[in-house]
Structure 1
Protein backbone atom coordinates (compact mmCIF):
# COMPACT_ATOMS: atom_id res chain seq x y z
CA UNK A 1 0.00 0.00 0.00
CA UNK A 2 1.27 3.46 -0.81
CA UNK A 3 0.41 6.80 0.81
CA UNK A 4 -2.28 7.59 -1.77
CA UNK A 5 -4.06 4.26 -1.21
CA UNK A 6 -3.77 4.67 2.57
CA UNK A 7 -5.17 8.19 2.39
CA UNK A 8 -8.05 7.10 0.13
CA UNK A 9 -8.89 4.21 2.47
CA UNK A 10 -9.00 6.46 5.54
CA UNK A 11 -11.09 9.11 3.79
CA UNK A 12 -13.72 6.53 2.76
CA UNK A 13 -14.82 6.27 6.39
CA UNK A 14 -17.73 8.43 7.53
CA UNK A 15 -16.82 11.75 9.13
CA UNK A 16 -13.06 11.53 8.54
CA UNK A 17 -11.01 14.67 8.11
CA UNK A 18 -7.33 15.02 7.29
CA UNK A 19 -5.05 17.65 8.76
CA UNK A 20 -1.39 18.50 9.25
CA UNK A 21 -1.42 19.91 12.82
CA UNK A 22 2.15 18.78 13.59
CA UNK A 23 3.67 20.31 10.47
CA UNK A 24 3.45 19.74 6.73
CA UNK A 25 5.20 16.36 6.87
CA UNK A 26 2.76 14.60 9.24
CA UNK A 27 -0.64 13.63 7.85
CA UNK A 28 -3.28 13.11 10.54
CA UNK A 29 -6.70 11.48 10.12
CA UNK A 30 -9.45 12.32 12.60
CA UNK A 31 -13.04 11.40 13.29
CA UNK A 32 -15.08 13.70 15.50
CA UNK A 33 -11.97 15.81 16.04
CA UNK A 34 -9.99 12.87 17.51
CA UNK A 35 -6.95 11.27 15.87
CA UNK A 36 -7.17 7.66 14.75
CA UNK A 37 -4.18 7.51 12.35
CA UNK A 38 -1.09 9.50 11.51
CA UNK A 39 1.83 9.02 9.16
CA UNK A 40 4.73 10.82 7.50
CA UNK A 41 3.58 12.15 4.12
CA UNK A 42 7.00 12.03 2.48
CA UNK A 43 8.31 8.61 3.52
CA UNK A 44 5.17 6.66 4.53
CA UNK A 45 7.55 4.46 6.51
CA UNK A 46 5.15 3.85 9.38
CA UNK A 47 1.63 4.52 10.59
CA UNK A 48 0.49 5.18 14.15
CA UNK A 49 -2.87 3.60 14.94
CA UNK A 50 -4.97 3.54 18.09
CA UNK A 51 -5.43 0.04 19.47
CA UNK A 52 -7.16 -1.76 22.32
CA UNK A 53 -4.41 -2.28 24.92
CA UNK A 54 -4.68 -6.10 25.05
CA UNK A 55 -4.89 -6.38 21.27
CA UNK A 56 -1.90 -4.01 20.98
CA UNK A 57 0.25 -6.36 23.05
CA UNK A 58 -0.95 -9.36 21.06
CA UNK A 59 -0.01 -7.68 17.76
CA UNK A 60 3.41 -6.61 19.04
CA UNK A 61 4.18 -10.15 20.18
CA UNK A 62 3.04 -11.68 16.90
CA UNK A 63 4.51 -9.24 14.35
CA UNK A 64 7.96 -7.63 14.32
CA UNK A 65 6.56 -4.75 12.26
CA UNK A 66 4.13 -3.71 15.02
CA UNK A 67 5.79 -1.70 17.77
CA UNK A 68 4.68 0.51 20.66
CA UNK A 69 3.42 3.85 19.37
CA UNK A 70 6.25 6.21 18.51
CA UNK A 71 5.73 9.53 20.34
CA UNK A 72 2.33 8.26 21.50
CA UNK A 73 0.83 6.63 24.60
CA UNK A 74 2.35 3.18 24.19
CA UNK A 75 -0.54 1.50 25.98
CA UNK A 76 -3.09 2.70 23.42
CA UNK A 77 -1.09 3.22 20.22
CA UNK A 78 0.91 1.00 17.87
CA UNK A 79 3.37 2.01 15.18
CA UNK A 80 3.09 -0.24 12.14
CA UNK A 81 6.20 -0.30 9.96
CA UNK A 82 5.34 -0.15 6.26
CA UNK A 83 7.25 -2.27 3.75
CA UNK A 84 8.40 -4.80 6.33
CA UNK A 85 5.82 -7.52 5.86
CA UNK A 86 2.52 -5.88 6.77
CA UNK A 87 -0.13 -6.72 4.18
CA UNK A 88 -2.65 -4.25 2.81
CA UNK A 89 -5.41 -6.33 4.40
CA UNK A 90 -3.78 -6.19 7.85
CA UNK A 91 -3.24 -2.46 7.59
CA UNK A 92 -6.85 -1.91 6.55
CA UNK A 93 -8.09 -4.13 9.39
CA UNK A 94 -6.02 -2.19 11.92
CA UNK A 95 -7.17 1.16 10.49
CA UNK A 96 -10.76 -0.07 10.87
CA UNK A 97 -10.04 -1.08 14.48
CA UNK A 98 -8.49 2.31 15.26
CA UNK A 99 -11.34 4.22 13.63
CA UNK A 100 -13.95 2.14 15.50
CA UNK A 101 -12.24 2.67 18.87
CA UNK A 102 -12.07 6.42 18.42
CA UNK A 103 -15.64 6.63 17.08
CA UNK A 104 -16.94 4.60 20.05
CA UNK A 105 -15.19 6.97 22.49
CA UNK A 106 -17.00 10.03 21.14
CA UNK A 107 -20.14 11.44 22.76
CA UNK A 108 -23.34 9.89 21.43
CA UNK A 109 -24.41 13.06 19.65
CA UNK A 110 -21.09 13.24 17.80
CA UNK A 111 -21.23 9.51 16.92
CA UNK A 112 -24.73 9.93 15.53
CA UNK A 113 -23.71 12.98 13.54
CA UNK A 114 -20.83 10.99 12.02
CA UNK A 115 -22.43 7.57 11.52
CA UNK A 116 -26.12 8.36 11.61
CA UNK A 117 -28.54 7.26 14.35
CA UNK A 118 -28.27 3.60 15.40
CA UNK A 119 -31.40 1.59 15.90
Structure 2
Protein backbone atom coordinates (compact mmCIF):
# COMPACT_ATOMS: atom_id res chain seq x y z
CA UNK A 1 0.00 0.00 0.00
CA UNK A 2 1.39 3.40 -0.90
CA UNK A 3 1.18 6.45 1.34
CA UNK A 4 -1.79 8.05 -0.41
CA UNK A 5 -3.80 4.84 -0.15
CA UNK A 6 -2.69 4.50 3.48
CA UNK A 7 -4.11 7.91 4.37
CA UNK A 8 -7.33 7.27 2.43
CA UNK A 9 -7.85 3.83 4.03
CA UNK A 10 -7.15 5.10 7.55
CA UNK A 11 -9.44 8.13 7.09
CA UNK A 12 -12.28 6.01 5.71
CA UNK A 13 -12.02 3.65 8.67
CA UNK A 14 -11.85 6.47 11.24
CA UNK A 15 -14.84 8.30 9.73
CA UNK A 16 -17.01 5.21 10.24
CA UNK A 17 -16.22 4.87 13.94
CA UNK A 18 -19.04 6.00 16.25
CA UNK A 19 -18.41 9.46 17.69
CA UNK A 20 -15.21 10.05 15.69
CA UNK A 21 -14.51 13.60 14.51
CA UNK A 22 -11.87 15.09 12.23
CA UNK A 23 -10.13 18.25 13.40
CA UNK A 24 -7.16 20.34 12.24
CA UNK A 25 -5.77 21.84 15.49
CA UNK A 26 -2.20 21.96 14.16
CA UNK A 27 -3.01 23.36 10.70
CA UNK A 28 -3.99 21.85 7.37
CA UNK A 29 -0.94 19.54 7.29
CA UNK A 30 -2.27 17.49 10.21
CA UNK A 31 -5.52 15.53 10.25
CA UNK A 32 -6.43 14.67 13.83
CA UNK A 33 -9.21 12.19 14.61
CA UNK A 34 -10.76 12.33 18.07
CA UNK A 35 -13.49 10.57 19.97
CA UNK A 36 -15.15 12.63 22.72
CA UNK A 37 -12.26 15.11 22.51
CA UNK A 38 -9.49 12.50 22.86
CA UNK A 39 -7.04 11.84 20.02
CA UNK A 40 -6.88 8.33 18.58
CA UNK A 41 -5.27 8.99 15.17
CA UNK A 42 -3.14 11.62 13.49
CA UNK A 43 -2.12 11.79 9.83
CA UNK A 44 0.55 13.95 8.24
CA UNK A 45 3.64 13.76 6.05
CA UNK A 46 7.04 13.40 7.64
CA UNK A 47 9.64 14.67 5.16
CA UNK A 48 7.47 13.75 2.19
CA UNK A 49 6.27 10.36 3.50
CA UNK A 50 2.63 9.99 4.49
CA UNK A 51 2.32 8.53 7.98
CA UNK A 52 -0.48 7.53 10.33
CA UNK A 53 0.13 7.86 14.07
CA UNK A 54 -1.96 5.59 16.29
CA UNK A 55 -2.34 4.76 19.96
CA UNK A 56 -1.17 1.24 20.81
CA UNK A 57 -0.71 -0.91 23.88
CA UNK A 58 3.05 -0.78 24.67
CA UNK A 59 3.43 -4.57 24.40
CA UNK A 60 1.54 -4.65 21.11
CA UNK A 61 3.57 -1.72 19.77
CA UNK A 62 6.81 -3.61 20.30
CA UNK A 63 5.44 -6.79 18.71
CA UNK A 64 4.07 -4.84 15.73
CA UNK A 65 7.39 -3.09 15.19
CA UNK A 66 9.22 -6.41 15.33
CA UNK A 67 6.90 -7.98 12.76
CA UNK A 68 6.61 -5.12 10.23
CA UNK A 69 9.32 -2.66 9.26
CA UNK A 70 6.67 -0.07 8.29
CA UNK A 71 5.48 0.18 11.91
CA UNK A 72 7.73 2.03 14.31
CA UNK A 73 7.44 3.11 17.88
CA UNK A 74 7.35 5.81 18.97
CA UNK A 75 4.59 7.76 17.35
CA UNK A 76 5.99 10.85 15.64
CA UNK A 77 5.95 13.63 18.29
CA UNK A 78 3.97 11.43 20.70
CA UNK A 79 4.56 9.45 23.89
CA UNK A 80 7.15 6.81 23.06
CA UNK A 81 5.40 3.94 24.84
CA UNK A 82 1.80 4.38 23.76
CA UNK A 83 1.94 5.44 20.10
CA UNK A 84 3.18 3.95 16.82
CA UNK A 85 3.90 5.39 13.41
CA UNK A 86 2.62 3.49 10.38
CA UNK A 87 3.96 4.06 6.86
CA UNK A 88 2.78 2.56 3.60
CA UNK A 89 4.75 -0.33 2.14
CA UNK A 90 4.92 -4.05 1.68
CA UNK A 91 2.85 -5.93 4.26
CA UNK A 92 0.64 -2.92 4.98
CA UNK A 93 -2.81 -3.69 3.64
CA UNK A 94 -6.40 -2.55 4.21
CA UNK A 95 -7.02 -5.22 6.86
CA UNK A 96 -3.96 -4.22 8.91
CA UNK A 97 -4.74 -0.50 8.68
CA UNK A 98 -8.37 -1.07 9.69
CA UNK A 99 -7.33 -3.24 12.64
CA UNK A 100 -4.74 -0.72 13.88
CA UNK A 101 -7.11 2.26 13.55
CA UNK A 102 -9.91 0.36 15.31
CA UNK A 103 -7.57 -0.83 18.08
CA UNK A 104 -6.39 2.75 18.64
CA UNK A 105 -9.99 3.95 18.82
CA UNK A 106 -10.94 1.19 21.28
CA UNK A 107 -7.96 2.02 23.53
CA UNK A 108 -9.04 5.65 23.72
CA UNK A 109 -12.73 4.80 24.21
CA UNK A 110 -11.83 2.40 27.05
CA UNK A 111 -10.22 5.32 28.91
CA UNK A 112 -13.39 7.42 28.74
CA UNK A 113 -15.98 7.43 31.53
CA UNK A 114 -18.55 4.73 30.78
CA UNK A 115 -21.30 7.30 30.23
CA UNK A 116 -19.23 8.93 27.45
CA UNK A 117 -18.25 5.74 25.62
CA UNK A 118 -20.00 5.64 22.21
CA UNK A 119 -19.45 1.85 22.07
CA UNK A 120 -18.43 -0.92 24.43
CA UNK A 121 -14.66 -1.08 23.78
CA UNK A 122 -14.52 -4.71 24.96
CA UNK A 123 -16.86 -5.91 22.21
CA UNK A 124 -16.44 -3.37 19.41
CA UNK A 125 -13.97 -4.44 16.70
CA UNK A 126 -13.19 -3.97 13.04
CA UNK A 127 -15.49 -6.84 12.03
CA UNK A 128 -18.37 -4.98 13.71
CA UNK A 129 -17.49 -1.98 11.60
CA UNK A 130 -17.04 -3.97 8.39
CA UNK A 131 -20.46 -5.55 8.84
CA UNK A 132 -22.16 -2.15 8.47
Partner of 1:60: 65
CA shift in 2, pair 1:45/1:60, >3 Å: same
Q: Residue 62 of structure 1: CA displacement?
A: 1.1
Counterpart of 1:71 in 2: which secondary structure? coil
Aligned: 1:35 with 2:35 = no
**Corresponding residue pairs, total:** 113
Q: Residue 2 of structure 1: CA displacement?
A: 4.6
Q: Residue 84 of structure 1: CA displacement?
A: 4.6
5+ residue gaps, structure 2, are 121-132
Partner of 2:129: none
Determine the C-alpha separation between the residues in 2 that align with 1:101 and 1:47. 16
CA RMSD, Structure 1 to Structure 2 (Å): 1.8
Equivalent in 47, 50, 57 of residue 45 of structure 1: 50
Determine the C-alpha separation between the residues in 2 that align with 1:65 and 1:3. 14
CA shift in 2, pair 1:4/1:63, >3 Å: closer
Determine the C-alpha separation between the residues in 1 that align with 2:11 and 2:97. 12
Aligned: 1:93 with 2:109 = no
TM-score by length of 1: 0.86
